[in-house]
Structure 1
Amino acid sequence: MEFLLLIADAPDGEAGVDLDAEHWVDDLESRGAHLYGNRTRPGAEATIVKVRDGDVVTATGALHEGRDWVAGFDVIECDSLDDAVRIAAAHPMARAGQIQIRPVWPFDDE
């Protein structure tokens, strides 16, 4: 199963955590579980696109405003949600921030 990990800041995160996730990525890659990941620019640099009455409408900013912001993402492959939770818990941002896990829902599963 594939899972999207959204790596986010959180106001109640632990201070002083070494945020270098290179060891975490190396471990996942050695097990064949890490598919892709990267940082993201701040929400203020995001662009929202929607089409309304045939017109393309764009707006600058994140989908929602709040105290937390998405700092990056990873796509992993593992056997279950329990495995994804264990993998996410080992990421440094699980201590300094928070990680949202979303199962990938392939179109061919419908």
Structure 2
Amino acid sequence: MKYLLIIHMNPANWEALPAEVREAVMAGHEEFIKELTGTGELLGFAALADPSQTRTARVRDGELTVTDGPYLEAKEWLAGYYAIEAETPERAYELAGKIPDAKYFAIEVRPIMASSGLEM
């Protein structure tokens, strides 16, 4: 089954971490990517830019409107994700726990839907 491991981050909490901790978290992603590439469980990944770079597009009454900022007002924001393929939900949870950010922030584990619906 495919899963999205979604990294949620609070920028104020990230900035409050010592520089060496932030550097270790970032370096830990390299090791995590190597591990999942080796096991064949990694489908893809991306880190996302700071929310200040976000624009939101909406079409209402046939008109496109683009506004600054993310759609939701929240203290936490989507920082990045890993798309994986895991044999069991427990394995997906285990891998989520290995993401370096899990020590400081939340990692959401969400099944990815196939075109016909949930792969459950």
TM range (shorter): 0.7 to 0.9
TM-score of the pair, normalised by structure 2: 0.80
CA contact (8 A) 1:28 1:34 kept: yes
Q: What are the equivalent positions in structure 2 for 1:71-86 lying under 5 Å apart?
A: 71-86=79-94
Describe the superposition over 1:84-103 as per-residue Cα deviations: whole angstroms up to 9, x where unpaired: 11000011000022211221
Of the structure 1 ranges 63-72 and 87-96, higher mean CA displacement relative to structure 2 is found in 63-72
Aligned residue among 21, 32, 42 for 1:34? 42
Q: Which residue of 2 aligns with 1:53?
A: 61
Partner amino acid for 2:5? L
Asked if 2 retains the 8 angstrom alpha-carbon contact of 1:4 and 1:103, the reply is yes
Name the structure 2 match of 1:3.
3
The one-letter code matched in structure 1 to 2:43 is L
- List per-residue Cα deviations over 1:6-32 (Å, max 9, x = no partner): 11214778x436212111111111110
Structure 1 contact 42–70 (Cα < 8 Å) conserved: no
For the residues of structure 1 that align with 2:42 and 2:103, how far apart are their CA atoms?
Answer: 20
Structure 2 alignment gaps of length 5 or more:
none
Q: What percentage of residue pairs aligned between the two structures are identical?
A: 24
Distance 2:51 2:117 in 1: 31
Distance 1:7 1:91 in 2: 9
Structural RMSD (CA): 2.1
Structure 1 stretches of at least 4 aligned residues deviating more than 3 Å after TM superposition: 10-13
Greater fraction of residues in helix: 2
Q: 1:97 aligns with which of 102, 105, 111?
A: 105
Unaligned runs of 5+ in 1: none
